[in-house]
Structure 1
Amino acid sequence: MKPQRFKRHLVAANVTLILSGIAAPVAMAQEVAADNVEVLEIRGIAASHKRNLNEKRFSEGVTDAITAEDIGKLPDVTISDTLQRIPGVQIRRSAGEGSTVNVRGMPQVTTLLNGEQLLSAGSITTVQPDFSDIPAPLVSAISVHKSPTANMLAGGISGTLNLQTLRPFNLEQGLTLNGVVEATRGSLSKENDHKLVAFAGYRGDDMGVMFTASYDTNTLANYRYGTILTSFDLQGEQTGDKRDFNGDGDNNDSYLSQRFHGMMDKQTERDRLGLSASFQASVTENLEFLADVFYTDMDDADRQQGLMIDNARGNIWAYSDNFIERAPGPLGGNIYTVNQAELLVRRVSSYSESLTNDRESTNINLQLNYQGDGPLSGSVRYLRGDAERSHTENVAHSYLTSGAQHAAFTNNTGVATPVNPNGYGPDPIKVDFDRTGKYITLGYDQGFGSDVSKYNLVSTYSENNFDEEATLDVLRADGTYEFEGDHLANVEFGLRWGKRDVERDTYILVAPMTGGQFTADVMWKDSSAALGDTNGDGEVNVSQGDLTIGNTNFFTDLPEGWVHKVDGFGPASGDSFYMINPEALDDPFAFQNALYPGNKRLSRPSRSFNIEEVTQTAYLQANFDGELAGIPYKANVGGKYIKTSLDIGQYIIGDGRPCSLCTAANSTGYEVLDRSYSDFLPAANITFNITDDFLLRAAYGKTMTSLNMSQLSGGISVGRTRAGDVLAAELGVSPDLLVAINGSRNGNPDLEPWRASNYNLSAEWYFDASSLVSVGLFKMDIESFIEKGQVMMALPDIDGVVRREVPVNTEINGEGGSIDGIELAYHQAFDFLPGVLGGFGTTVNLTYAPSDSANVDVYGAELPIQDNSERSANAILWYDRDGLQFRIAANYRSDRLDSLGFGVGEGVLPIWADDTLYVDMSASYDITENVSLYLQGSNITEEFENIYAQWEDNIVTQNVYERRWTFGVRGRL
């Protein structure tokens, strides 16, 4: 075996390789023979900090890492919370917990498990997993690879995340036991949650086995103020709101208003189970066998309840002396907003919703590693993944107001009645609106909503339900051939075959309804909605006597336990109102059948699909190790060829089904579309050891990320109309034939994947074993984005004959963009200080990453790439000495473009998320060598998120998260 460079750090390098799992099995085989590895126990913040720096220092490319301080103990509560400490990594939150991850501004990030593809139940149709369903104790380390290498699995546009688990040969000889018991309580939920973790491992001379189990329950509370459903109106002369907003004597100005306002109490309940097992054995002197199982199971319910105001088919009228002039308007005047006003609203409703998920996934890895006596080594690996997810949505929409101004029901007597005859009204309700304080507030007259007899459940439905499942099969072979001599150290090569099958069935719940001679299946069970043409006059019109569902469901008549009183909506409101308990909505069938018997599933073919993706990969990478002009260097140059084949099954959508008030339609056929594309992805990385402690790195690579399955497939809806004389003559058909004129497709199988070219240049100074100062420059040229647009397609007329191409609205590959940035990092352990001060250390990093896209705001100013924060930073102060450990961490993220609204002014209305600063802490004390107590606090300052439309004071939504405290006991043998 060829001697390795940088021998002074051989032990550190070996520790890094061993504890990183077999993310690159060939590299492990070539670098370190198992018999020569010194297994070290790494515990505590300081030791984990050194390991992180070693991982970065000896990596093949531009890499950052975070490692567990002990078995099953990442430094933060969730995997995403841990990842946000890495430069250039930004996270999104779900119920206050970290969930999805961006690297350098892009969410197209691939996650691997021990170097290979991970199939997660939270990412069956997507590339990036939702980390909320992966228990953190199963993971021992996380690497973030920001520059690609040829031997790394392709998938991340801006980076690749590698979750690493322990293996038995990482353990000391003999039996290892570890256990955790902890309790958590939130400042808003007031619930006592818990977590149990158990680890057992045994390592003998030639074999080892280990098992980890983690179970936790969490009740996460947060509140949403402002726009409950993100929707806006531009009120003005064109909408009939003929008012002089600015007192200039004309009505040509416009008022940008929110269509919905409210206060929502949101709680997420999660039960999470994770199991992992690993077996490792030396079959012969040269052959090692490895088997891993990684299992996750999470049941969760996202429940929300609150009071919502809107105008129900009209505008919310705002009266104020402080309309704010914003931008030129479409009628020659100006656009105005208001921050304090008296709102006159026609509908006030009590809204409850439950979204449930049942997620389960299993990933199995079987692997043989070969290290021969000669220059050849290699591995063969088979992976199997299975995942499934069941999702339900159930809504109860109740009125406090009568609805007399806009909604009525007609029962079998033919008498039109307000949908909520006992409700407030018919005069509009006055609501005081104010967003000038810390929180958005809505004020009602005293006593409003306190009488439970005023409430009526008017509308209920269950839609967007789906069952989805996926399988993953991977077979790969990797090899390394060593060379003796200068510069060329070895050549790595490999072949990989992977197949991923995804199936989704989307459905709604419908119940049979009968009115007169008319019978229909109904999804939107809304008291004011017509069942159909029940009087036989050829029209559907309630005012003309057509029957509606016609039910009243007063709160006082509902089953016991369905209705409860909610006292306040967090820190912004102390008002009390009555709500349908969202827990009663968890079972959609039971709830819907109790009101409208006979519910059944009705598939939505426009949202259902089957996709098979097959990838074939070959890579070749040359690794170099030597000196240039007396400067030691390491480099790798190579490329991988990937062929992707897709079989995309989707439905052709015809006319509406015999279903009143439904979003489903008939399927007139099923088609399987075949397509394939190929990519060659070159990659090159080089590292110069300018001195013993100073490194320069440069990297270049092309990256490609597959699209989300839901972006590739979905039903095609065909719009048709009577041909008429002119078109009939052109097509040679009858004037009465219904011909295709347009279409809509939920997904586009012709979309190209995300592609980018990445450039990296960095300098790293390791000025002692626990310290680093680094600066990195990066650039990403992104070929295209996915956006809404039109394509021309040949679609059939009503007789099934295709006669011409028509425009179809779908997703298309739009114009690309770029992200250029700089990352700065400083790590230091102050172990040179005297006494207790020597236990301190710090980590600080800053990222500046401006981006550009083809979109502009209302003034024509260029907008960035969505979800990218131009600035992000982390600051951590830690202490580790004499059994006492403490860490406080702050994470900052500047404004990010959350979404795009409708066209206003010179561009589109941008919806921004304001900057945030989250602060977390942890402390632990080793009572004995084997028993520790610890305390963790997440979001200890109760930071919350403001969402604003174009202007920073125009806050439209607030997401208020809670503080959570965790106390735990950890034991080990």
Structure 2
Amino acid sequence: MGLVALPGAALAQTPVGNTPDVNATPQDATAAPSQSAEAESEIVVTGIRASQARAIEVKRNADSVVEAISAQDIGKLPDVTISDSLQRIPGVQIRREAGEGGAVNIRGLPQVTTLLNGEQFLGANSVTSVQPNFTDIPSQLFSGATVFKSPTASLQQAGLSGTVDLLTRRPFDLKRGLTLSAAAEGQYGDKTKDWNPSANGLIAYHGERIGFLASAAYSDLTLANSFRGLQDYGVALNNEGGSATNPGAFAVGNNGVSRGTPVRNGAGTIIGYDVNGDGDANDSFITPQSHTAWNRITSRQRFGANASLQIELNDALRLTADGFYTRQTQYDRTAGFQFQNVDWLSSPFLPTKSRDTGAIDSNGYHINTVQQYTYSLPSFDSYSETFRTKSESQNYNLQLDWKPSDTFKATVRGIYGKAKRNRDQAYTQFSLTNGRQWAYNGVGNYPASVGGDRTFNPTGYQIYSQTATIDYSSGAPAFGFSPGFLTQAADVSRYGLKTISSEGNQYQNGDIWALRGDAEWQANDQVRLNFGGRYSERSVDQFTFDRVSPFYAGNRDNAANPAAGCLVKWKAFDVNLNDGKCAVLDAQGNAYTAGLTRQGNDQIFAGLMKQYGLPAAGAPTLWALDPKAMDDSEAWQNKFYPGSQNLVNPADSFTVNVRQISGYGQVSGEGELLGMAFRANGGLQVVNTRLNVRQNIVGAPQPYGVSGVDAGDVVTKRQFTDFLPSINIAFDVTDKLRARAAFSKTMTVLDFLQWGGGLNVNYAINTQVNPARFEARTADSRGNPNLNPWRSTNAEASLEYYTGRSSLVAIGAFYLAVDSFITNSTELRNDIPDNDGVIRRPVVTNTLAQGEGGTLKGIEASARQSLRDYGVNGFFGGFGIDANYTLSLGDAGGVDLAGNKMPFQDNSKHQVNTALWYEQYGFQARVAYNYRSKRLVSSNYGGIAGLAQYQQPTNYLDASISFDVTPNVTIYGQASNLTAETERYYLTWPDQVFNENIYERRFIAGVRAKF
């Protein structure tokens, strides 16, 4: 049987001729029957119905509980990434990034291992993590994918809740002779309003004893994704009254004026301020660091290539060599505005519409959700931000399959992979205020050589002279401004350059290599023995840094290094260089200001300032820097502040090395029990893990936002051994009905940041003191090398009813008992100084700890039906359906501030996938719907225990249509996110709106040819 591989149309791995696939690994579970029986028929396996039949065949013949996608499941829907296709499998949940499928969960857990043709895969978006993220991997390079939900002992490197095995094409999978195929398409977004090119192609030759294949895919996409709501980097519970840890954020506004009505005790002493008009001062309110709205354009230039060589050295030996390469350059360019909370000791956001939730915070105050904020406009900033992410991965495989007899076969295999992901950030901020709250009453102090004293923004509005409102009552933010303010916002000359920075830049490098051997001995017709061993080593190095600039070298009182100047991270007008560790003072003893201001209409910004309309009701049309100007972050910094340096952030820089030695033995058999035919396998895998973690010791903080010095290394070495049994059994109750049961223990390593990260302190500016200073507000202990890996005990049972070649009904139940979770706990630390080195207060520190265990249980139901399997012919015989439902119930033991049990993070209780398809007379059409119920994003947002961030339910509708113009040429069209779904988030209570992601509709038109 000849199988024609189409770009975007995947095929399951298929052994060829009389030499079966002797790879005793997960490849076996996806192997279709030998081609030899049908070698002369030259049947071309294409189309939706054929792909559904192949996926059902993989599931039916597998030794464990698996799901598969193949053929038209990849490419006949708008599946740009493999994640888009995987989401249609029962129990698989994904997150979309810029509208494309990204991170993958299985049964609500992210601890999912990714394999490539049965061995571990290292992707550029998963250098330090376990959870797969496939945004950089073109789907057209794959022949299919298999999701293993219950492992066998021979499935080494299995995930906690499941394993994704990505399958590339190999030449012996294709028809004899030469195969050529190619596709070209254009993609269009209804917000970007631009056509983007995409192309892929394949060439392969299958000879008598040799075959080679090469395929490649390229796309250059521009994706629109906008945002509105609370800024995602800070929320506080602000009280009307006072406490030891919060003196009452609403007591005094930034302009020194009391806010709200004073509340006095019997002695007449003010004990707080009533800001919501209920007559008391015992309320607390969720208030943000900032409200914002922005437009983001994500540009992804993606390239992938795959090559494979297969040689039958003789009738018993086959050599296979594979290479897989991906490269992506991504720019996330953002332009928008911010209402900034200019410090953390008072709040300019007055809650003018709120609701008492009945919950009590840790200080005894009533927690209120806020539906409307009134903002006294101490700061209104336009800002632009660009992230440039360059990622690259290479994965190689060399294997020798040996089958000297009908009863024995073996495989020796070596793999090597390496990946890197470099992310650079650049940020530029303009303010519409006159800056009177900063520096010296709005005047910056500079050396005479660079202009001397200069007013920050003489045409900006006077602070506190105006107000704005942000109303979330409708579920989406609506902004209100005075007409005078809107007039100012439309005038570019009224903007003053406030901040330039580049922080949190992150370079990740990783590699992996493994050597393994597998063998199978067929004892008799009913029993076979599998055994093997594996050695692997995986290393990761993460370097996180900020771009800092030397200021005013050679000037007075630069005691630290007069020649080099003071190093500054936030090149900002509101940063005064008065820190004793490196002060820069003029002759009168006044500190110079970091950041020489310029007006928005300055010649240096000619052609770079643009007007933007923003995705929120009432939002002003404003001026912001074109984010493309910051594509080269280092060059942009040096344009204003020459000599920038890459200074390590020790807390987020580390090295982790994991070595594993494993071995397994597995017995498989078949027979008859209670009148029913059965197949079963049982085995034990033993894994010894040796962990070597190098963390940086974070020294004293440096002035002006610079991270604490790298004070040396601490190295932790550990090892642990896991015994992982697994049992799978399947009964043929009837010819059509199969019952399965499985039991296993699984182990998965942690994300390497959870082992290697150090202590990171978050600073906020306090403008209530003169001069202003940066104070330690919270801290995060990012890693703990003594944490244990993820471990779980899994059980499941299912029934599968096969009603035809392309039809199946299945239902199953699963149960996972996770030994322990990595939890976020908080503690008050008294040893963390402010940025000037002075310890002034306890600092709430988020730490990682070994938490209690939890359980995840649920039900999966699926139906794949083709009317032709029921004898329906003619027009109606072309219809079919592919539908599934997953119920996933998780209990991690935590509760949110409302007293509700929190589910597993990132898990949705309900998930539905439905695809209605039609295939007849060369015409194919498909409409697919995906639903996820709410999911928990974070359990302790902003460091506030129990302040849970949830995502509301999502609904996505995709469609595709194609027509075979000739047997070799197909034209097609696809569409994704037809309903223009908006992702909505809230904090614990649905009426405490958090923010929204807004994605565009995407359309594809293309042509595909094969020869």
Q: Tell me the TM-score normalized by structure 2.
A: 0.86
Q: Is the Cα–Cα contact under 8 Å of residues 316 and 344 in structure 1 kept in the other structure?
A: yes
Q: Distance in 2 between the 1:836 and 1:529 partners?
A: 73
Q: Distance in 1 between the 2:518 and 2:811 partners?
A: 34
Counterpart in the other structure of 2:277: 247
Of 735, 744, 751, 1:708 maps to 751
Q: Is the Cα–Cα contact under 8 Å of residues 293 and 616 in structure 2 kept in the other structure?
A: no
Name the stretch that deviates more: 685-694 or 254-263.
Answer: 254-263
Counterpart in the other structure of 2:862: 825
In structure 1, the gaps of 5 or more residues are: 1-10, 720-741, 796-806
Q: Distance in 2 between the 1:603 and 1:882 partners?
A: 62
Q: CA deviation at 1:468?
A: 2.1
Counterpart in the other structure of 1:180: 183
Counterpart in the other structure of 2:389: 357
Q: Is the Cα–Cα contact under 8 Å of residues 68 and 74 in structure 1 kept in the other structure?
A: no
Q: Is the Cα–Cα contact under 8 Å of residues 830 and 840 in structure 1 kept in the other structure?
A: yes
Q: Distance in 2 between the 1:12 and 1:194 partners?
A: 28
Q: Establish whether residue 596 from structure 1 lines up as the match of residue 596 from structure 2.
A: no
Q: Distance in 1 between the 2:950 and 2:907 partners?
A: 11
Distance 1:127 1:902, change over 3 A: closer
Residue 310 of structure 2 aligns to which amino acid in structure 1?
Answer: Q
Can you list the C-alpha shifts for 1:60-106, whole angstroms capped at 9, x where unaligned?
A: 11111111229976772321111111111110111111101011100
Residue 497 of structure 1 aligns to which amino acid in structure 2?
Answer: Y
Counterpart in the other structure of 2:735: 692
Of 126, 145, 159, 2:129 maps to 126
Counterpart in the other structure of 1:933: 971
Residue 234 of structure 1 aligns to which amino acid in structure 2?
Answer: L
Residue 326 of structure 1 aligns to which amino acid in structure 2?
Answer: T
Of 631, 634, 641, 1:586 maps to 631
Q: CA deviation at 1:883?
A: 0.4
Q: CA deviation at 1:294?
A: 0.3
Q: Distance in 1 between the 2:968 and 2:892 partners?
A: 54
Of 653, 663, 666, 1:608 maps to 653
Distance 1:904 1:94, change over 3 A: closer
Q: Distance in 2 between the 1:819 and 1:16 partners?
A: 41
Name the stretch that deviates more: 585-594 or 810-819.
Answer: 810-819
Of 398, 409, 419, 1:387 maps to 419
Q: Distance in 1 between the 2:954 and 2:781 partners?
A: 37
Distance 1:71 1:202, change over 3 A: farther
Counterpart in the other structure of 2:546: 508
Structure 1 vs Structure 2 CA RMSD: 3.3
Distance 1:527 1:944, change over 3 A: same
Q: Distance in 1 between the 2:639 and 2:412 partners?
A: 56
**% identity of equivalent residues:** 36
Q: Distance in 1 between the 2:924 and 2:897 partners?
A: 51
Q: Establish whether residue 843 from structure 1 lines up as the match of residue 882 from structure 2.
A: yes
Counterpart in the other structure of 1:756: 792
Residue 917 of structure 2 aligns to which amino acid in structure 1?
Answer: W
Q: Establish whether residue 94 from structure 1 lines up as the match of residue 97 from structure 2.
A: yes
Q: CA deviation at 1:709?
A: 1.4
Q: Establish whether residue 111 from structure 1 lines up as the match of residue 150 from structure 2.
A: no
Q: Distance in 1 between the 2:447 and 2:713 partners?
A: 45
Q: Distance in 2 between the 1:328 and 1:571 partners?
A: 31
Residue 81 of structure 1 aligns to which amino acid in structure 2?
Answer: D
Q: CA deviation at 1:563?
A: 3.1
Q: Distance in 1 between the 2:137 and 2:30 partners?
A: 29
Q: Distance in 2 between the 1:808 and 1:310 partners?
A: 24
Counterpart in the other structure of 1:733: none
SS in 1 for 2:489: coil
Distance 1:123 1:362, change over 3 A: same
Counterpart in the other structure of 2:699: 654
Q: Distance in 2 between the 1:29 and 1:453 partners?
A: 65
Q: Distance in 2 between the 1:587 and 1:184 partners?
A: 27
Distance 1:199 1:23, change over 3 A: farther
Distance 1:808 1:185, change over 3 A: closer
Q: Distance in 1 between the 2:958 and 2:314 partners?
A: 48
Counterpart in the other structure of 1:54: 57
Q: CA deviation at 1:817?
A: 1.2
Distance 1:62 1:565, change over 3 A: same
Can you list the C-alpha shifts for 1:855-906, whole angstroms capped at 9, x where unaligned?
A: 211132221111110001011100011100000000000001111345999x
Q: Is the Cα–Cα contact under 8 Å of residues 430 and 497 in structure 2 kept in the other structure?
A: yes
Of 627, 640, 644, 2:689 maps to 644
SS in 1 for 2:130: coil
Can you list the C-alpha shifts for 1:293-317, whole angstroms capped at 9, x where unaligned?
A: 1000000011111011123113133
Residue 726 of structure 2 aligns to which amino acid in structure 1?
Answer: A
Q: Establish whether residue 473 from structure 1 lines up as the match of residue 513 from structure 2.
A: yes
Counterpart in the other structure of 1:965: 1003
Distance 1:598 1:632, change over 3 A: same
Distance 1:24 1:75, change over 3 A: farther
Q: CA deviation at 1:535?
A: 12
Q: Is the Cα–Cα contact under 8 Å of residues 13 and 58 in structure 1 kept in the other structure?
A: no
Q: Establish whether residue 396 from structure 1 lines up as the match of residue 442 from structure 2.
A: no
Aligned length: 925
Counterpart in the other structure of 2:202: 199
Can you list the C-alpha shifts for 1:263-295, whole angstroms capped at 9, x where unaligned?
A: 110111010000001111110110001010100
Counterpart in the other structure of 2:479: 442
Residue 763 of structure 1 aligns to which amino acid in structure 2?
Answer: L
Q: Distance in 1 between the 2:980 and 2:20 partners?
A: 36
Q: Is the Cα–Cα contact under 8 Å of residues 151 and 158 in structure 2 kept in the other structure?
A: no
Q: CA deviation at 1:495?
A: 0.6
Distance 1:118 1:473, change over 3 A: same
Of 294, 308, 326, 2:357 maps to 326
Q: Is the Cα–Cα contact under 8 Å of residues 527 and 548 in structure 1 kept in the other structure?
A: yes
Q: CA deviation at 1:439?
A: 3.4
Q: CA deviation at 1:12?
A: 11
Q: Establish whether residue 520 from structure 1 lines up as the match of residue 560 from structure 2.
A: no
Q: Is the Cα–Cα contact under 8 Å of residues 611 and 621 in structure 2 kept in the other structure?
A: yes
Distance 1:81 1:16, change over 3 A: farther
Counterpart in the other structure of 2:988: 950
Q: CA deviation at 1:128?
A: 2.6
Residue 873 of structure 1 aligns to which amino acid in structure 2?
Answer: V
SS in 2 for 1:559: helix
SS in 2 for 1:339: strand
Q: CA deviation at 1:433?
A: 1.9
Counterpart in the other structure of 2:445: 411
Distance 1:306 1:679, change over 3 A: same
Can you list the C-alpha shifts for 1:799-849, whole angstroms capped at 9, x where unaligned?
A: xxxxxxxx9974221112111100111110011324211000001111111
Counterpart in the other structure of 2:267: none
Q: CA deviation at 1:466?
A: 2.4
Q: Distance in 2 between the 1:764 and 1:222 partners?
A: 41
Q: Distance in 1 between the 2:313 and 2:828 partners?
A: 60
Q: Tell me the TM-score normalized by structure 1.
A: 0.90
Of 946, 954, 963, 1:916 maps to 954
Q: Is the Cα–Cα contact under 8 Å of residues 221 and 961 in structure 1 kept in the other structure?
A: yes
Q: CA deviation at 1:469?
A: 1.4
Q: Establish whether residue 260 from structure 1 lines up as the match of residue 290 from structure 2.
A: yes
Q: Distance in 2 between the 1:84 and 1:260 partners?
A: 34
Q: CA deviation at 1:410?
A: 4.1
Q: Distance in 2 between the 1:40 and 1:379 partners?
A: 31
Q: Establish whether residue 812 from structure 1 lines up as the match of residue 844 from structure 2.
A: no
Counterpart in the other structure of 1:545: 590
Q: Distance in 2 between the 1:438 and 1:651 partners?
A: 44
Residue 530 of structure 1 aligns to which amino acid in structure 2?
Answer: N
SS in 1 for 2:54: helix
Counterpart in the other structure of 1:876: 915
Name the stretch that deviates more: 859-868 or 401-410.
Answer: 401-410
SS in 2 for 1:942: coil
Q: Is the Cα–Cα contact under 8 Å of residues 26 and 479 in structure 1 kept in the other structure?
A: no
Name the stretch that deviates more: 282-291 or 894-903.
Answer: 894-903
Q: Distance in 1 between the 2:866 and 2:213 partners?
A: 33
Q: Is the Cα–Cα contact under 8 Å of residues 29 and 377 in structure 1 kept in the other structure?
A: no
Name the stretch that deviates more: 540-549 or 846-855.
Answer: 540-549
SS in 2 for 1:357: strand
Counterpart in the other structure of 1:232: 235
In structure 2, the gaps of 5 or more residues are: 1-10, 243-247, 252-259, 261-273, 559-564, 763-777, 832-843
